Structure 1
Amino acid sequence: MSASKDIQSYLQKWRILTAILLLLLHPGQGFLTGYRGGVGLDGFGICPADLRNCSCRSYTGAETEIDCPEADSTVHLRIEPHQYAEMRCQRNRRYEFDQIPQLSIGETNRLTIDDCPFPRHQSILQLVSFLGTTQVKVLWLKNNANHEHSASLVRNHFAGLENLDRLAISNAKLSDIGPDLFEHLPNLTWLDMRDNIFQLPPTIFDALPKLRILELSFNSLEELNPRLLRHLPNLQLLTLWHNKLRTVSRQVFTGVPELERLDLSANQLESVPSDLFADLPRLTELAMGFNNFRSLPEGLFRANHELRKLKLASQRVELETLPRDLLQNLPALEQVNLERMGLTSLPGTLLHGSPNVTQLNLAFNQLRQLPEDLLRDQKALYILQLQHNQLTNLPDGLLKNTRDLHTLRLSHNQIGELSADILKALGKLEELYLDHNQLHTIELNAFRYTTALHTLHLQANQLAFETLNALPGPALDKNEEDPSDIAAPDEFGMFVQDGTPFQHLHQLRELDLSSNWLTAVPRDLLLNTHELQRLNLTRNNITSLTYANLQFLAPAITVDLRHNNIIEINLADMERLVLLERRSYEEQTGRARILLNDNPLNCNCIAYAFAKYIQNKLATAVYDRLELVADALTCQGPEHLQGMLIKDVPTRELLCDLDTPTTQIRHCPTACKCFIRPEDMGVIVDCSSQGLTEVPELPRPSTFGYRFIELHVENNNISVLPDKPATVAGGWSEVRELYASNNTIGTLETAQLPNGLRLLDLTRNRLTELSAPIAEMLSASTTLNTLRLAHNVWTCECEATQFVTFAHTNQRRIEDFGRLRCSDGRQLEHTTLGDLCTDRTHTIVLVCVIVSVLACLAAMLSFVYYTYKLELKVWLFKHGICLWLVAEEELDKDKLYDAFVSYSHKDEAFITEHLVPTLERDPMNFKLCWHVRDWTPGEMISSQISSSVEQSRRTIIVLSTNFLESLWGQLEFRTAHLQSMAERRNRLIIVIYGDIGSIDELEPELRAYLHTNTYVRWGDPWFWDKVRFAMPHPPKVRGATGTSTAVKSGVSTAGGLFMKQLHGTTVDDKMELIKPQTAPATPPVLTTPPTEPTACTAPASGPFIISGNGTVTGTPPVYYHQQINPYRVSGHINGAFVINSNAKQSDV
């Protein structure tokens, strides 16, 4: 068969390749053009150029569809060259076949005409002449009976089809079938006539000597003429299924000696003669189901030794039994189907002499018992189906010869026990179905020899764990060994002595034990069934699970435990054991999958580890070993957790009773309830609402593996807590959480509280205060984190300051701090120490108010002072008020100068015209150190800078862009700055002259100074007042008496040198005292200078005495800022020798 398909596929590919080559070589000569002047058809969907009024399109690959007419199709064609052509008509429409384009498809395998009327005076070939078919092998005529005007099929319709091989007529118009209907079909081998045939002429098939297959199903034939098949010597298959035959005679089959397959099913046969099939020696398959047989004759198949398949199933009338020799001595018989026949018993000799039966189906009968020798000769039996009967047991010897049995179906019977002998010979049995019986006992060795079993269904029985191994089975022969004494092979693990019958099923892959009475998972299934993949334990009575019940050695098993009565799942040791066993299964592929939903789980402490698993709180290795599916599992108890999903249950709520009814030594105090909590290994002792007057003696958790006590004594009459020394033998010292609300406790002592207390609830008692020791103890506790003290009668008087202080200090610990109230109703949260002693409070309040007002006033004055400090001091200094605030210290009394002026020589105009004159004349009269005037020629400049800074009370820095470029100016700044830092006094006065740019871009030291000190900017309306304020402050303001300090000291205050006109060439910076300066001074003097005068007056002491080596001018006063009297001398002025800066060295 496979080789034939390969050849056909090869030929098909060759045809397609040939067609492609033809198209490439002759592009204008396709199937649709150039073929005898007609219209050909391209198997690849190429449509003709002349479609007339039709449409043509490619359908799928080699198929083409044509609809005529295109707009409203009445005829639809689908064609694949060399394969088939189908024509389908629309009902009740006018057909114009002459409008269809002429095609030439040549030879075709199959022609189908569906729903089209037959012409009265044309053959079928003439009807489809537009196709251009030269030969048709298979013809299907369907549904022409739907047309009123269609002609009934007659002989002439088949004219020209002499080579037709197969003909199928379905729902055709055959109202008057002629005896010569098939006269033009001598080569027909296959004929299918179905639907609407009521009677056939006796000679209708006489013209079909080559007919091999005749199908007459779905007709209404009531009888068969004895001559009907007489001239069909090659007939091999006859199908008469679904007719109305009541009787069939032997003569009908006389002329068909080659008949191999016969189907008489679904008729109305009630009986047949015993020799009905006597002339059919080649008969191999017979179907007679769905009839009305009331009995079958003996010897019915006596002549049919080649019979292989027999189907008598589904009789409409109950047969009850069969003839004793019905199936005897049929050596070729392989498949027997006797299901649904109403059989209640079978003869033991039914199959004797038929040893090759492989499939026997006796299902859906009413068999109550089977003869022990029924299968005596069935050594080749492979499948035995006995399901849906009323069998109560099986004889031990029934299957002893069926050693090749592969599948045994016994479902839906009433079998109660399975003995050790019934399956003893079935070493090749792979599938056993015993579900839906009344099976309550399976002997221990029942499966001892069925080691190949891989599918076992035992659901819907009465099996209980105890009864699985209750019966040891019959005594073994002397030569047999007890399997419990046999060491199992390594690959099978080990036997469990006194185990279950499953201990032998090492190849078992599927086991269904659902709907039984099991109370536990059979241990054999854990250890010995290494290949087990599916284990169904649903709807049993399993009440508890441990990790030991889930340690399956099968690598990828799925265990269904849903719909049981599991109330406890104890996985306490699972995580530890998994981590210990990791090496033994780390190479294992897969993990056990356990389905646990739909069980009434009691969510107590036993479920703690299980809840942690479900909530992903265990080690990863656990989840690699085991998958527990409980996403929809809810708690059925206790009441406060009922209905909650286990995945959402807080693990702290999982508790168990400390003492159980079977506990011999009780730990829980009388009248109390005690629980254990694995979450924190705590013991909960609940003695609330018991009318207690004292705390009962408590157990010691440390003695039975727990850590502490959570004690509840709420709603009692306890007035005093126990004293620790008195209860040292009990568990009071191990209390960590104490709930004692709603009692009558009035006092609290340090000796009464256990060490390590974490929670203390004393609400609704009679406490009035906390003593200093107890308050100190509670405050110093490192473990106490929750304290509840509300609803007590707290005293809020002057003596209760200790408690009030404690409460406010520990409000983080006091959970109900906001609800603490004094005995007079005041909230402690809003009560201060001042509220406790009202007599002292008023005085304290008054003093506090005054102090607060003064502090606010001082703060305001300080704010104003520090905000406007400079302006305020300047104003006070200017008006001679509070001069002590601005007086100079005695530290500077020996200084020679009030200020040293540091500037760039390029800013000479500003110095000579504004700064020096204004500071040295009235009313300021400061003595300035000006290097042009006061330095000694010839000395080191750096030494003179240092000396000038040290001998001056202030250093005035004229900061300009020129200054920033002067190296000597920077040296003078650093020298003055260092002195200020050394003396921790501000001796620098920065005068910003002109635009110096951003301060942040200056040299770091200068930038830091300007950011942290006040400076004066030229052009400020308060410029001279701020400079005067920054200068040294004598006890009496200079100039107050009109006498200049400079005059008194005998030093000129004119400040100018009588050397040359200062607006021309100026004295250069330090190093250039003898070098003319040609660069102009920058920046120019502001156009709007301060209102102070800009020229110095003559010294008050009279004219200078001048002597020089040049021209000498007399005694009239000299104004060094005016451009008159240009003296250019070198000589003495009042005893001082003066050098002209423009003089030559020879002039000095």
Structure 2
Amino acid sequence: MTILTFLMFVLLTRQSLSLSRPQCHSCEQTSCNCSRQNHTKVPAAPSNLITELDLSFNRLGTITKKDFVAYARLWSLTMSNNRIKTIQEQAFSPLSNLEKLDLSFNRLDRLSAGWFENLFSLRHLNLLGNRYSVLDQGNLFQPLTRLKTLQFGGPYFQSVRKNDFSGLSGLEEVIFDGQNLKLYAGGSLRQIGPIKHVTLGLNGPFQINPALVEAILSDVVHPNTTLTFTDTWFLTKNHMIPFKVAFKGGTTQVILKKINITVTAGLEFLELLSNSNIVMFALEEIHFLFLYSVHRPYLQTLDCLETVVLKNIDVPEFHMFPALLFLYRLLKVVHMSVLNCKLFAIPCDLSARLTKLEYLDISDNIFSDLALSQMMCDGKGVFLNLETFNISRNYLQSINSQLFTKLEKLENIDMSGNVFHSMPETCFWPPSLQFLNLSSTHLTKVTACLPVSLHILDLSDNALAVFNIELPFLRELHISGNKLSRLPDGPVYPGLTFLSIQNNDLHTISSDNLNSYKNLKRLEAGANTYVCSCDFVTFMTSNSANHRVTIGDGFKSYICDSPDADRGESVVDVRLSVFECHADLAFSLLCLGILAVFLLIAGVCHKFSVVWYIRMTWAWLRAKRKPKLKKGELKYDAFVSYSEMDSGWVEAHLVPELEQAEPPLRLCLHKRDFVPGDWILDNIVDAIEKSHKTLFVLSEHFVRSEWCKYELDYTHFRLFDQNDDSMVLILLEPIDKATIPKRFCKLRKVMNSRTYLKWPDDDNQIPRFWQSLRTAIETPETENGHCLMDTVDLGLRF
């Protein structure tokens, strides 16, 4: 009982703790994105499989040692931009698999080595933007032997001590925000060893304490180190003096990022570079200021400089900017990128001097056709060593291939994002050209202007409806975002190995289409208007091992546009019926089934004489609509129904005996009295309706006659409909019951329920037979006729 009570207590305690913890609203199988959900506590873990947890931009204040007990498999934890002020010593102890920890931009006023004691797997640590002024009491990072990236500092950080980085020996990247740094113990960062990437934000020291900057730089400078300076103002020449330490120390790569700099300070920086071993120099997100007068210095080139990157440069008073003073220093560069700098012209004279240039990227600027022509000296031959040229997203309106004809080493041209609309019918490209990008250029048609030597062609995001230009060496074709309704002809591209044709008007793809490409290995064709026919669905859902071509963009991106029942469904989720997939066979089987049913019905109708009954019923219904004739309107005494095979007896015996007697009887015979040309059924109905009696001459021939059966059936209907005694039966010869067809069911019924006259074998009985027959025909009352017939012992019963 005690154990049971204890277990219940533990269960209720765990449940109450779980209910007290908030829940994350955006969790997948192994990750939770709980950012911006206004949490004040760490949410409860939905499962123990979570490996990524993002808690950024919430209102967390305190992290306890119980918060991450259920997150034992976590390898990425982001808690930036919260209000965290306190972290208990063992809060991260359960996270022995953690590789990334982001605590940036919180309110931590102190750091503790106890946080990191169990984080043996940690590789990336971000402590930027907090309120601590020092890195604990030393040995803070001692347990973090696998750490590769360290970000620390902030507006409150003031001091770096000798042992702050002890234990860190394999760091690859350091980001140090020391904008208000006051003290730095020399050698602190040097003990880490050479660091590949060092980013320094030292705006305050650059302004008021250059010696402190020089001490830091002397510790981090190394030929294999890329130095990045960020969030700093450079206003005078003196602000550039600390760079001498960096350049003398052998640094080969320098990046200035998010910098405000004057033209004077910029030119001074170039002067310092001229005496250095700098190989790569980049300016990113730079704002130039005009605070001091500019004196043109001696234009000395930078002999070691190979790569220059100018990105997002803001020059408010560009008409005063001495661009040539900068660019003429770069005459010996090999790689130059000028990105989004509002560059609108490069003089031909300067282009002619850039003889070593192999890579030129002037994308996202404002070059016009005229400016490009001037830069290329009208195609007379500049940039002769150029291999790659990127002039995408400018203001070009025409394709002028003659500007590049003499560039025999040119292999790659990117002209995407311009506004061409059309291209010339013929062009003259250098024979070395292998890559051409004309995507997003508003082209509606392509011509033979495309260079035959191309290996890679990008025509994505245009308005092409047809593409059939012969390119025998093409290996990759990117033609997504157009209006193509079918794949390009495979035989025209014998060397094609990759085809991207997403977001077009394709309706189907089949193995036959792809087999026309001899060397195609990878296809990306999702986001088209696919008709999910059986062939297409079968092709897409069949075993991928049987496909020679790999679907590179995933089957889930192939969505059905029709039929309507499957619209919006992924092709791998579509299940079509047999009738949809084998329509011809299904239709044939359906027709055969219908034919079989009709044959079965016809057989049944034939066997049971259904057609006869229908025809008779129809005739009877028609007759019922006619007004009933009165006794005085009847024309005949009797209508004689007999088989044509018995006509000899009728004509030789029956007719003379009845019509030549006194008084004579009026008989209706079909041979004599039927109206020629009328439908026979109408003649039969009319004759029966105009006769007092219907005389049936029964024999073996009678039961084999279809018309006799009809006459018998109609008379039988009339018998019950009019409730009269209009039927007289003569048995001409004995009839074997087995020989009577089943369709003569009424004959059986009549012969079982009524008396009849039998043609006698004894000649002495013949006068009495005729007398009885005359009496049956002449007597209008049913009772009298029956009484007389009953006196004659000639009847048979079946």
- Give the TM-score normalised by the residue count of structure 1: 0.35
Relative contact order, CA 8 A, sep 6+: which one is greater?
A: 2
Look at both structures and tell me which one has the larger radius of gyration over its CA atoms: 1
- Give the TM-score normalised by the residue count of structure 2: 0.47
